[in-house]
Amino acid sequence: MINEIGVIIAGIIGLAIVAVIVSSNAQTPAVIQAASSGLGSIITAAVSPVAGGTTNQNNLFGSQTQFS
Q: Give residue-wise pLDDT tens across range 29-62.
A: 777 788 788 888 888 878 877 766 555 555 555 5
More reliable by pLDDT, 1 or 7: 7
Is a pLDDT exceeding 70 seen at residue 65? no
Share of the chain above pLDDT 90, in %: 13
C-alpha to C-alpha distance for 49 and 18, rounded to whole angstroms: 39
Task: Give this prediction's pTM.
Answer: 0.38
Q: How many domains does the chain have?
A: 1
Share of the chain above pLDDT 70, in %: 74
- Contact, 60 vs 34, CB < 8 A? yes
Structural domain for 58, as ranges: 2-67
Q: Taking the chain, what is the end-to-end CA distance rounded to the nearest angstrom?
A: 52
